[in-house]
Amino acid sequence: MDKFTTLEGVAAPLKIINVDTDMIIPKQYLKTIKRTGLGKGLFSEQRYKDDGSENPDFVLNKPSYRKAKILVAGDNFGCGSSREHAPWALGDFGIRCIISTSFGDIFYNNCFKNGILPIRVSHEELDKLFDDADRGSNATLTVDLEKQEIRGPDGGTIKFEIDPFRKHCMLNGLDDIGLTMEKGKSIDMFEAKEKAERPWL
C-alpha cells in the first residue's frame, strides 16, 4: 500500500448525499478480484450516457476535475452494501482522499485498508470546502496527515481527527499484510520454536 503523507491536488465537488457503494461502482463491475482497471467503472451510471458517451454535466468529466485527487462529498458517503470494489475504483481513478461529514462504516474501514484517507468534517467546514472545490482547476487543496489539517487555496486551515493507529498505518503504507510482516522476526522465531518442540506438526 502506498504511504499517505501529504497530498496536494484538485478537489472535485460531489454535492450529492447518501452516495451508496452501488453508485460508486455498479454491480456489473464486481466480477473481477483485481484492484486495477476499475477506475473506468467509477460512477459509470452518472459519467456515461446510455450510448456510452460521456455525460458532460458530471463533475469528474469536466476538464478541471478529470485528474482530481480529492473528492469533497455530501453526507453519508459510501453507505449501502459492503463493497471493497468501491475504494478500489476510487483509487484506480486517482482519488486518494474523500472529505465528507459522515461515511458508511464499512466503506470507511475499507478506505483505510486500501490507502484512501476518509476525513470527517463539520457541515460548516464542508460548505467552505465545497466553495473551494467549485473553483475548478484552481481548487487545489493540501491534505497533511502528519499535521491532521486541510489547507485551502486561500491559506485557510481545517483540522481533522483520526484514530492514531490508522494514522500510523497510512503514514507508513501498512495494510493488514504489511502490519503482519512487521512481526516477521517474531513469527519466524515462533515457527522455529514450534518445529523444534513439536516436529510432528
7 closest CA partner among 87, 68, 96: 96
User: Would you tell me how many other CB atoms lie within 10 Å of the CB of residue 16?
Assistant: 15
Residues 47 and 130 in one domain: yes
Res 9: pLDDT: 96
Residues 33 and 93 in one domain: yes
CATH code, 105: 3.20.19.10
Res 154: pLDDT: 87
Residues 153 and 166 in one domain: no
Residues 139 and 50 in one domain: yes
Helix (H, G, I), strand (E, B) or coil at 102: coil
Residues 74 and 144 in one domain: yes
pLDDT in tens, the chain (201 residues): 899 999 999 999 999 999 999 999 999 888 887 778 899 999 999 999 999 999 999 999 999 999 999 999 999 999 998 889 999 999 999 999 999 999 999 999 999 999 999 999 999 999 999 999 999 888 799 999 999 999 999 889 999 999 999 999 999 998 766 666 666 676 667 676 667 777 776
**Residue 186: which domain range?**
162-200
Residues pairing with 142 in the sheet: 8, 151
Residues 57 and 123 in one domain: yes
Strands, E, within 46-104: which ranges? 70-73, 97-100
Residues 157 and 179 in one domain: no
Residues 25 and 114 in one domain: yes
Residues 166 and 129 in one domain: no
Residues 59 and 110 in one domain: yes
Residues 6+ apart with CB under 8 A from 66: 60
Asked if residue 166 lies in contact with residue 4, where contact means CB atoms within 8 angstroms, the answer is no
Res 201: pLDDT: 63
Number of folded domains in the chain?
Answer: 2
**pTM tops 0.75:** yes
Residues 90 and 181 in one domain: no
Question: Would you give the distance in Å from CA 197 to the centre of its chain?
Answer: 45
Residues 99 and 190 in one domain: no
